[in-house]
Structure 1
Amino acid sequence: MPTNRTVDVYSDLSLSLSEAGSGRPCLILHGGGGPATVAGLAAQLSHSLHTITPTHPGWNGAPRPAWLTGVDDLALAYLHCLRDLGLSDVLVIGSSLGGWTAAEMAVRDTAGVITGLVLIDAVGVHVEGEPITDFFSLDAAGVAEYAWHDSTRAAVDPAALPAAQLQMMRANMATLRDIAGEPNMHDPKLLRRLGRVDVPTLLLWGASDRIVTPAYGAAYADAFGDGRLQVVPEAGHLPHIEQPEATFALIDAYVRAKA
């Protein structure tokens, strides 16, 4: 069973962590949909790894200090957290916004704490000719169409949600816009910096993702010093949810190859 703890990274920033399993430490970073979107992934990986799954500041009611306004702030906070915990040989796995955060962590990791990266349909870079879909302009039906292979399983009628859940979703979206919205879901300088990241990097991509396309993922992978792309059929922006068995198998093979 997962255990929860809070780590004080700065005097005004505490991170809430859910931990499970044992072995090599694995930091799992969620995307804009919140920690529930990576819960299944964390549960699966905890059979062989020590999984550490934070809730980003500002999501699900977690406090966010006023100065935390960008993914660079988030990346540095997690790097400092890993060092404060005395961890090494860390695998970082990130989905969407979490993948962007993982990439920003890697370019700043001068201590070599991170030894592996898995980015799942990550945003965060600018690729000429492959623009990131303006997620903030999409309604629920649009998110289902662009982010899922099977849009019928994802369409959500906001009017059918409990008021508290709807309020939390809106607050999460507001935080996502604050941290990642300008410019639209990317750091203009990140792509050219990734060549300095030489840890083995696996980019997993849903073949049907229309938020960031597989061609975008290929350019992302090529920018890393040691990156490769694996495309998951019949999956969109969250392949670990739509095609969990295929996604887990690719991650397991990557972990075994780097063991």
Structure 2
Amino acid sequence: MTDVLVLHDDLALTVTETGEGRPFLVLHGGSGPDSMTPVVEHYASTHHVLAPVHPGWDDTPRPDWFSGVDDLATTYLDLLEDRGLADVVVLGCSFGGWVAAEMAVRDRARRIGHLVLVDAVGPEVPGIAVRVPGGRPPGAGGPPGGGPPGGGPSAAAMAAVRAYGGPTMSDPKLLRRLARVHTPTLVVWGEDDLVVSPDFGRAYAAAFPDARFELIPGAGHVPTREEPEATLAAIDTFLTAETP
């Protein structure tokens, strides 16, 4: 089921919901919602999956004032609160991982039970650059990440990435703020990611008090699409081990 939630006079949020059980929020990267289909389908049999479309993707409108990762993070935390959801698994890939991390930083109500970051961007890691060949935004997939293109982002999606992430596609304060996030966290990384290297992922994981790092052989920047079986197995193992 797909709903369009009117949040403000000029802002609506498209959310696909499927399945029953523990809530599971899926946040896509620059390549859009389709790149997360394996995740949604896998967890729909055991979880209540919510998969929003970030405003600006798939022809959804994004008002000019809605222009930061903090806007997305706050909006999705409000969504969890409005639905009365708790112990939520939040999974974000690439740009969506940045949003997920910012949600965890702001989660004062402790609605997030587990956090999964897949080749996520967001922080500044000293000495490690985020490489965006040809001007493609992180999360675009394709050869820069080691996998098949599978359809690159639209011009509107690229504009949305720039609007939300700014010219540096990073938040210099984020890495330090993660030290206060005690949510059990899994950082999953494609071994062949040429956009954000595994060393970037290891530094990301090390910033959390309670995080583990998992490398996915043969995957690039979008492991959920390039090596879905291995990626989902790693996430399943994490959630099973961390759930009483």
Normalised-by-shorter TM-score class: over 0.9
Residue 166 of structure 2: which of 175, 178, 181 is its match?
Answer: 181
Q: Is 1:218 paired with 2:202?
A: yes
Give yes or no for the alignment of 1:76 onto 2:74: yes
Structure-1 separation of matches of 2:150 and 2:106: 38
Alignment-mate amino acid for residue 102 of structure 1 = A
Residue identity opposite 2:169 in structure 1: M
User: Under a length normalisation based on structure 2, what TM-score does the superposition of the two structures give?
Assistant: 0.93
For residues 67 and 195 of structure 1, do their structure 2 counterparts lie closer, same or farther at Cα, with a shift above 3 Å needed?
same
Greater helix share, structure number? 1
After the TM superposition, list the runs of 4 or more consecutive aligned residues in structure 1 that deviate by more than 4 angstroms.
none
Change (3 A) 1:120 1:143: closer
* Structure 1 segments unaligned to the other structure (5+ residues): 157-165
Listed one character per residue, the Cα deviations across residues 60-109 of structure 1 (whole Å, up to 9, x for unaligned) are 11121221111111111111111111111111000000000000000001
Q: Secondary structure at the match of 1:15?
A: strand
Cα separation, 1, equivalents of 2:192 and 2:101: 23
Report the Cα distance in structure 2 between the residues aligned to 1:213 and 1:204, rounded to whole angstroms. 12
TM-aligned CA deviation for residue 170 of structure 1: 1.1
Alignment of 1:133-148 (within 5 A): 133-135=131-133, 137-138=135-136, 144-148=142-146
- The answer to whether the 8 A contact 2:141-2:222 is kept is no
Query: Of residues 220, 229, 237 in structure 2, which corresponds to 1:253?
Result: 237
In the alignment of these two chains, the number of paired residues is: 241
Matched residue type, 1:69: S
- In the alignment, is the contact (CA less than 8 A) between 1:7 and 1:81 conserved in 2? no
The structural deviation recorded for 1:257 is 1.5
Q: For 1:107-132, what per-residue CA distance to the aligned partner results, in whole angstroms no more than 9, with x for missing partners?
A: 00111111110000000011111111
Q: CA 1:143–1:117 in 2, change beyond 3 Å: closer, same or farther?
A: closer
Distance (whole Å) between structure 2 residues aligned to residue 29 and residue 239 of structure 1: 14
Q: TM-score, normalised by structure 1?
A: 0.88
SS state at 1:61 partner? coil
Q: Is the 8 A contact 2:31 2:141 kept in 1?
A: no
One-letter identity of the residue aligned with 1:174: A
1:242 maps to 226
Q: Which has the larger radius of gyration?
A: 1
The question of whether the paired residues in 1 share the 8 Å contact of 2:26 and 2:49 is answered with yes
The answer to whether the 8 Å contact 1:205/1:231 transfers is yes
Q: How much does 1:146 deviate?
A: 2.0
SS of equivalent to 1:33: coil
Match of 1:116 in 2: 114
Aligned-partner SS, 2:77: helix
Contact 2:121 2:196 in 1 (8 A): yes
**What is the alpha-carbon distance in structure 2 between the residues aligned to residue 201 and residue 249 of structure 1?**
15
Shift of 1:134: 3.0
Tell me, which stretches of 5 or more residues in structure 2 are unaligned? none
1: distance between equivalents of 2:136 and 2:28? 20
SS for the counterpart of 2:39 is helix
